[in-house]
Amino acid sequence: MERQFESVKKAFSRQALQYDSYEEDHSILKWMREQVHLHAMTYLKPGDNILEINAGTGIDAAYFAKKGYRVHATDLSEEMIKQLEKKVALLKLHDQITAQQISYTKLDRIKNQFDYVFSNFGGLNCIPDLNPVAKNISKLLKPEGRVTLVIMPPVCPWELALVFRGYFKSAVRRLHRNGVLAHIEGVHFKSYYFTPKQVLDAFGRSFKKTALQGLGSVSPPPYMKNFPKRYPRMYKFLTLVDAQLSHFPPFNSWADHFILTMQYLSKDKT
């Protein structure tokens, strides 16, 4: 795993400088992030203290900070943290956001406790076993605290549909149990895909599922960046349908990502 995380760190460090500009011109990513924010705001309470893991350049941290929340933003990549700190300085959010370069496999080094833990856009798909992360999160959450994770599942309808275009390997890539090679900025590393049940099993009976929502089940995934420009009316229609169906099976788990929110009960409750 050390080699895996070194590759992940290198890849996202290379991506850090252009990460924000890439999303600015990406309608699909913007829409997806808006859906995640709407979901999170449903479960955040006034005054909540947030721990964000794989925070990237701080897009989500800044959003929550502007809403009045305090955020401790963490990321494995030193360059991502540098960009995050520049954003904090530019937006004058020093009182709302603190930053720390740390892997989510080493969250036990954080001594504070939080009301809410947040992880967006598949950062947790870089690890084959969620159990160590879940164990550390349970130590960092206050009783009745909540965690929202945005994770890529094995089944994505748009990717499976690629089989009809002759791209069999791409269509079934998420179904490999031992992960599949991904690459960012010329760096290769493995991605692992989890069902909602696998995530819930990793967190155990001390966590209660509060909500499960699909993200990009009916509407196209981010790699189809030009779809909204080529078919604007169809894209708008598909996102509307996606939002309506996203809370119902199978659309809440068969998607590009799913959003899972859980509440921490206690070590003794089941």
> What is the predicted pLDDT for the residue at 267?
56
- pLDDT confidence of residue 121: 97
What's the full length of the chain, in residues? Answer: 270
Domain ranges of the chain: 2-264
- Cα distances (angstroms) measured from residue 41 to each of 63, 118, 129, 139, 270: 11, 11, 28, 23, 26
> According to DSSP H, which parts of the chain are helical?
2-24, 27-43, 59-66, 78-91, 131-140, 157-160, 168-172, 196-203, 227-230, 232-245
pLDDT at 5: 84
What's the pTM value of the predicted model, to 2 decimals? 0.95
What whole-number distance in Å separates Cα of residue 104 and Cα of residue 52?
A: 10
- What does the pLDDT profile of the chain (270 residues) look like in tens digits? 788 889 999 999 999 999 999 999 999 999 999 999 999 999 999 999 999 999 999 999 999 999 999 999 999 999 999 999 999 999 999 999 999 999 999 999 998 999 999 999 999 999 999 999 999 999 999 999 999 999 999 999 999 999 999 999 999 999 998 899 988 888 999 999 999 999 999 999 999 999 999 999 999 999 999 999 999 999 999 999 999 999 999 999 999 999 999 999 975 444
Per CATH, the architecture of 2-264 is what?
3-Layer(aba) Sandwich (3.40)
pLDDT score, position 174: 95
Write down the pLDDT at residue 270.
42
Q: Supply the pLDDT for residue 93.
A: 98
- Could you give the count of Cα atoms lying within 13 Å of 104 in the half-sphere of its Cβ? 32
